[in-house]
Structure 1
Amino acid sequence: MFCFFDISQYQKKEWDNRNKIYTHNGELMLSVPTKSQKHFDKTIGEIEVNNETNWAEKQYKSIFLNYKNHPFFENHKPFLEDMYLNQRWNKLVDLNVYFFKYILKLLDQNIPIVMASNYDFQGQKSDLVLD
């Protein structure tokens, strides 16, 4: 079982909403825009995606243009199209779980995923992992 820790505090400029791809010009940071209302007191599970821009289409285009000729890209293209072009993400955690499930599928791992927010943990900060 894998517990997705959606109750931990969201930290701006960390990897919860960012990743890098490699381009012919070097690294390119891809960031999912979030609604910026008092992030410091929100959990990862509470963070909303800011869909007022066309971030998903731009990111898909960046990935497509930089990887379309790479081996195996066509294998992942349907997933990328679905994630970026067909879905509309309201919560960042939903996007992250969707992506994580795809990685598990690629690794042929049939691991149940549970959300920490579905349990009544009592610990605070780093003590939460002990619960």
Structure 2
Amino acid sequence: MKACIHQPNYLPYIGFFNKIKNTEVYVLFDIAQYEKNKFCNRNQIRTENGSMYLTIPVLSKDCYLKRMCDVKLPPNSKWMKKHWKAIEANYAKSEYFDSYKDPIEKLYQTNFTSLVDFNEEIIKFLINEFCLESTIIKSTDLNLDQNLKSTDLLINILKEINAASYLSGSSGKNYLNELTFKKEGIKLEYQHFTHPVYKQRFNGFVENMAAFDLLFNIGEKSKQMI
């Protein structure tokens, strides 16, 4: 069984889902340390002028010292309304926006308190729309030694779920200890993802947008592009 492990990013881009598509199990890495100004709480949507970031104003000033599962959302929902208005303003005239508007708007009207919970629901929605069949397992539901770091923690996770193979992003070449994987008898593979080009609402093409961009622009055909 092949698995991938990734933080539950906010509005992930389509390469995130390509990795999930090519595995049987996606481990939602909610015990990862929160990283400031990364994709845990922000991502980009397409605009007439290129792109813009939507950033969730996380509650705690010291959240970068916490695990993702411990990071809380602001009690004020103004940011959710702002994000939805930005999505609606830039995608309302996209060909398939109306096909997906209602369930997505509902997510932005739901009273979430946890960053991970909100991100997870968006990820699950997109996994369903892209017809991906991978099983989702949360790292907080596993019996892990959380004192472990980097490769050792990944190996611990993979052993807990009985994975024989691990699919890493291409950047894993920069930090994974390949000898440890070999020693533990777990096959290590790297993702080879080429971003597809598709028709966006605005002229030109900008890659690495939130996966909503793909869905709103080409609808059901999205499944073939992941």
Report the TM-score, using the length of structure 1 for normalisation.
Answer: 0.91
CA distance in 2, matches of 1:74, 1:53: 24
CA RMSD of superposed structures (Å): 1.4
- Give the equivalent residue in structure 2 for 1:112: 135
- Give the equivalent residue in structure 2 for 1:32: 56
Say if 1:33 and 1:51, in contact at 8 Å, map to a contact too. no
Say if 1:9 and 1:44, in contact at 8 Å, map to a contact too. yes
What are the Cα deviations for residues 54-101 of structure 1, in whole angstroms up to 9, with x where unaligned? 00111111111111011111111012211112x011000001110111
CA distance in 1, matches of 2:27, 2:114: 18
User: Between the two proteins, what is the percent identity of the paired residues?
Assistant: 28
- Give the equivalent residue in structure 1 for 2:74: 50
- Give the equivalent residue in structure 1 for 2:97: 73
| Residue segments in structure 2 that go unaligned for 5+ positions in a row | 1-24, 157-226
Larger Rg belongs to: 2
Letter in 2 for 1:20: Q
| Residue segments in structure 1 that go unaligned for 5+ positions in a row | none
Say if 1:8 and 1:125, in contact at 8 Å, map to a contact too. no
- Matched residue pairs, number? 130
1:20 deviates by: 0.5
CA distance in 2, matches of 1:3, 1:112: 8
Report the TM-score, using the length of structure 2 for normalisation.
Answer: 0.55
- Give the equivalent residue in structure 1 for 2:181: none
- Give the equivalent residue in structure 1 for 2:188: none
Letter in 1 for 2:35: Q
CA distance in 2, matches of 1:9, 1:105: 27
Letter in 1 for 2:88: F
What are the Cα deviations for residues 92-123 of structure 1, in whole angstroms up to 9, with x where unaligned? 00011101111111111233212101112125
- Give the equivalent residue in structure 1 for 2:7: none
Letter in 1 for 2:153: L
1:51 deviates by: 3.0
Larger deviation, residues 36-45 vs 62-71: 36-45
- Give the equivalent residue in structure 2 for 1:84: 108
1:96 pairs with 2:123: no
